[in-house]
Amino acid sequence: MSARTPLRLAGEAGFQSAIENLQSKILIDSFGRVHNNLRVSVTDRCNLRCTYCMPEDVTFRDRSELLTFEEIATFVRVAAALGVNKVRLTGGEPLMRKELHKLVRLLVAVPGITDVGLTTNGILLEEQAGALFDAGLRRLNVSLDALDPGRFRELTRRNGVEKVLAGLAAAKRAGFAPIKLNAVAIRGFAEHDVIPLARYCRDHGFELRFIEYMPIGAEAWERDKVFFAAEILDLIGREVGALVPANHDPSAPALDYAYRDGGGTVGVIASVSRPFCAQCNRIRLTADGKLRNCLFALDETDVRGLLRDSPVPESAVADALRRSVWAKREGHEINAATFVKPDRTMHAIGG
């Protein structure tokens, strides 16, 4: 089904009831996209202040506003009954949420959930990698934009690259494989870091992924600041090793490449130069219990109120999810003059 043509609700006999029948089993939007991938932010707090993500001075939400682990697990159970099978924990910095491994344990036990992942800046990973692995976490993405301590500080406004490197080593020892390393590609910065990061990942067996810089942070964004995926691949191909396209899942946002002589992969998430909205299968739950059907959504649906009712009206949570997914826009419009940046910055949504 094309994601270009909205499904029509009017004028076709039985169509409405066919859609309702589908919606009782799967999360489908009005463009026919089926959603099985949930990102859960567990906190808006962070121990870094990456310039592209959040402002230096920020007021974090009161902890009482954040969903508890039990509330998150209830939501995930409802979502899993509607076809969600992948969950990724994120933030803010998810490892700042105390005893995150306990949430992992709850989520891997939810019937239907086959894949629980985590995206972290790695600062607190050294001390938590073992407990997370033991709790059943298997997919791990660590964000690291620069290996040089000065450049790391410039981008994150904090020190700590050695902690991230120790966290990566601890994750490897704990048994995580593969480990993905994510870097944001900003023109004027990334040119200096692409090659050292590519060599480091090749040497250590990490899968490197570059994400094009998106207009979702606190700073003014211009298209000219995006270091494009094609340029990154060209640079790595020339300086580190020839790359060839690798098989990839068409619904995955990354385009993956492998070194022709073996020894690792490089992926690019070309959200700006090659948007993947037509294949998008993601929904998001913010740490304060708002549903977002797109990273760039301008509207949110509150589910915290429902999750704090006793007993939790699970059918109302499911309805909220169905309605939110159905209302998803066709695409993020980053490249259009009509683009409107959401009020929340990345750290408060969940990347």
Name the residue nearer to ligand SF4 (CB basis): 53 or 320: 53
**CB of 325: closest distance to ligand SAM in angstroms?**
22
The Cα 199–Cα 201 span in angstroms is: 5
**CB of 109: closest distance to ligand SAM in angstroms?**
24
Residue 228 interface partner, choices ligand SAM, ligand SF4, none, CB cut-off 5-8 Å depending on type: none
What residue has token string 């009509």? Answer: 338
Binding residues for ligand SAM (CB under 6 A): 46, 52-53, 90-91, 93, 119-121, 143, 182, 184, 211, 213-214, 216-217, 346-347, 351
Name the residue nearer to ligand SAM (CB basis): 322 or 347: 347
φ, ψ (nearest 5 deg) of residue 228: -75, 150
Residues 235, 198 contacting (CB under 8 angstroms): no
**CB of 335: closest distance to ligand SAM in angstroms?**
15
Q: For the chain, how far is it from start to end, CA to CA, in angstroms?
A: 27
Name the residue nearer to ligand SF4 (CB basis): 48 or 72: 48
Residue 257 interface partner, choices ligand SAM, ligand SF4, none, CB cut-off 5-8 Å depending on type: none
Residue 49 interface partner, choices ligand SAM, ligand SF4, none, CB cut-off 5-8 Å depending on type: ligand SF4
The Cα 303–Cα 309 span in angstroms is: 10
Residue 24: which residues within 8 A CB-CB, separation 6 or more? Answer: none
Name the residue nearer to ligand SF4 (CB basis): 93 or 288: 93
Q: Is 209 helix (H, G, I), strand (E, B) or coil?
A: strand
Please count the helices (runs of H) and the strands (runs of E) in the chain. 11, 14
Residue 344: Cβ within 10 Å count: 17
The Cα 90–Cα 42 span in angstroms is: 6
Name the residue nearer to ligand SAM (CB basis): 119 or 301: 119
Binding residues for ligand SF4 (CB under 6 A): 46, 48-50, 53-54, 91-93, 121, 143, 346-347
The Cα 325–Cα 23 span in angstroms is: 10
**CB of 170: closest distance to ligand SF4 in angstroms?**
18
Name the residue nearer to ligand SF4 (CB basis): 92 or 264: 92
Residue 90 interface partner, choices ligand SAM, ligand SF4, none, CB cut-off 5-8 Å depending on type: ligand SAM
**CB of 95: closest distance to ligand SAM in angstroms?**
8
Cα 123 to its chain centre, rounded Å, is 18
